Structure 1
Amino acid sequence: MIALLRGVVAQLSAGEVILDVAGVGYRVRVPTGARLAGRGEELTLHTHLAVREDAMDLYGFTGPADRDLFTVMLSVSGVGPKIALAAIDTLGADGLRAAVIADDVTALTAVPGVGKKGAQRMILELRSKVGSLGDLATAGATSVGAGPTASDPRSEARLALGALGYGAGEVEAALRGLPGDASAEDLIRLALRGLAT
C-alpha cells in the first residue's frame, strides 16, 4: 500500500498531478479544488491506492484526514473512488462531514453521480464513521454544503453562486473544468460567463 508520496511536481492539471519521486513519475488523482505546490516545487501527498482488476490508481490528498475520509467513503455500497473523490471535491471534507451529520440529502445530491437514494445510503452508512475522522465542532460549524474553509476558492465560488440563486447542479457544471489554481473571483467570473451562455 502506498500511503504517502513526497516528491517534485512534474506536471499539474485539474484533478491530477504527476509527482516525480526519485526519478519515478506517479500519476495521482487529486481533488480539483486542492491547493497544491506549483510545477517544480516539492509536494507531499497522503495517498490511497485503489486496485482493480484492470487498473491501479493513486488518489492523493494534502492531509491524512481527507485521505481517511476518502477511504471511509469507499466502504459505502455503490461508492467507488470516482464518486468518493467527487464528494470531497464538491463539498470539501468538512462540508461532507457536516452534510452527513445534518442528514442533508440535498447537499449530497450536488455530488455528480449521487442521487437521492445514494445520498440517503451515504448518510446511513457514514453517520457513525465520520465523527471519528475529524473535528465535529468544526464540521458542525461549517454551513452545510459550504465545503471546506473559506480560504478554498472553489468553496467561496460555490457559496457566491448559490447566493445569486443558482442551483447546486448548475454551479457544479459551471465550475467543472475551470483552472484548479484560479482565485475565487476568477472562478466566479468564469462561471458566470458560462452560466450566461
Structure 2
Amino acid sequence: MIAHLRGTVAHRDAETVVVDVHGVGYLVHVADPSGVPPVGQSVELHTSQQVREDALDLYGFTSRAGLATFELVMRATGVGPRLGLATLRTLSPDAVRTALATGDVATLTSVPGIGKKVAERLVLELRDKVGSVADLSGAGESPRAARDATTEQQAREALRQLGYREGEITHALADAPADAGVEDLVRHALRSAGARA
C-alpha cells in the first residue's frame, strides 16, 4: 500500500501529477493541482491507493485532512474514488465535514455528480463518523476549521463567476481567517491569487 510520496514533480496537468521518486514516476490523481509545485520542484503527497480488477490508481492530497476526508466520503454506499475526488475539487475538507455534520444537503449537491438523494445518503451514513475523522486529519489546526460551510460555499460561487477554477479557489482560501464573511473571503482569495500571479 502506497500511503505517502515525496519526490520531484516531473509532469502536471489539470487533474494529475507525475511524482519522480528516485527515478520511478508515480501518476497521481490530485484534488487540487494548483496546490502542487511547478515541474522540477519537490512535492509531498498523502496518498490513497485504490485497486480494481483493471487498474491500480493513486489519489494524492497535500494535506492529511484532504486524504482523511476523501477516505471518509468513500465509506458511503455507491461512492467511488472519482466522486470522492470531485467532492474535494469542489469543497475544502472542512466544508465537507461541516456539511456532513450539519446535514447541509445544499452544499453537498454543489459537487458535480452528487444529487439530492446521494447527498442525503452521505449525511445519513457519514454524520456519525465525521468526529473521528476530524480528529485524525488534524481538524482545528486549519484556520478554516470553524468556518461556516454556507459562507465558504457562497464565496466559492462568487469566485467561480469571476472565472476561477476549483483548485485555484481551494488554494486561495486555504489560509483565510475562520471568522471571515463572504466578502472578506472573496477579497482574501483575490489578494492571494494576485500574489501568486
Q: Same fold (TM over 0.5)?
A: yes
Structure 2 partner of 1:191: none
> 1:80 and 1:175, CA in 2 relative to 1: closer, same or farther beyond 3 A?
farther
CA contact (8 A) 2:16 2:30 kept: yes
Tell me whether 1:143 sits opposite 2:148 in the alignment. yes
> 1:18 and 1:95, CA in 2 relative to 1: closer, same or farther beyond 3 A?
same
Structure 1 residue 159: Cα displacement = 4.7
Tell me whether 1:8 sits opposite 2:13 in the alignment. no
Structure 1 residue 128: Cα displacement = 1.0
Structure 1 partner of 2:115: 115
> 1:145 and 1:59, CA in 2 relative to 1: closer, same or farther beyond 3 A?
farther
> 1:45 and 1:182, CA in 2 relative to 1: closer, same or farther beyond 3 A?
closer
Distance 1:94 1:52 in 2: 29
Letter in 2 for 1:117: K
Distance 1:146 1:26 in 2: 37
List gaps (5 residues or longer) in structure 1: 148-154, 189-197
Letter in 1 for 2:15: G
Structure 1 residue 180: Cα displacement = 8.4
Distance 2:71 2:95 in 1: 16
Distance 1:64 1:17 in 2: 18
Structure 1 residue 146: Cα displacement = 5.0
List gaps (5 residues or longer) in structure 2: 173-188
Structure 2 partner of 1:160: 158
Distance 2:30 2:46 in 1: 10
Structure 1 residue 42: Cα displacement = 0.7
Structure 2 partner of 1:25: 25
Letter in 2 for 1:80: G
How many residue pairs are counted as aligned between the two chains?
Answer: 173
Distance 1:185 1:20 in 2: 32
Other structure's SS at 1:141 match: coil
Structure 1 residue 66: Cα displacement = 1.5
Distance 2:111 2:19 in 1: 27
> 1:79 and 1:178, CA in 2 relative to 1: closer, same or farther beyond 3 A?
closer
**What is the aligned-residue RMSD (CA, Å)?**
3.3
Structure 1 residue 158: Cα displacement = 1.5
Distance 1:158 1:133 in 2: 24
Structure 1 partner of 2:58: 58
**Identity over aligned pairs, percent:** 43
Distance 2:166 2:127 in 1: 31
Tell me whether 1:89 sits opposite 2:89 in the alignment. yes
CA contact (8 A) 1:95 1:146 kept: no
Distance 1:182 1:142 in 2: 16
Distance 1:178 1:132 in 2: 26
Other structure's SS at 2:85 match: helix
> 1:178 and 1:136, CA in 2 relative to 1: closer, same or farther beyond 3 A?
closer
Deviations 1:51-71 (A, max 9, x none): 111111100011222212211
TM-score with structure 1 length normalisation?
A: 0.75
Other structure's SS at 1:59 match: strand
Distance 1:30 1:72 in 2: 16
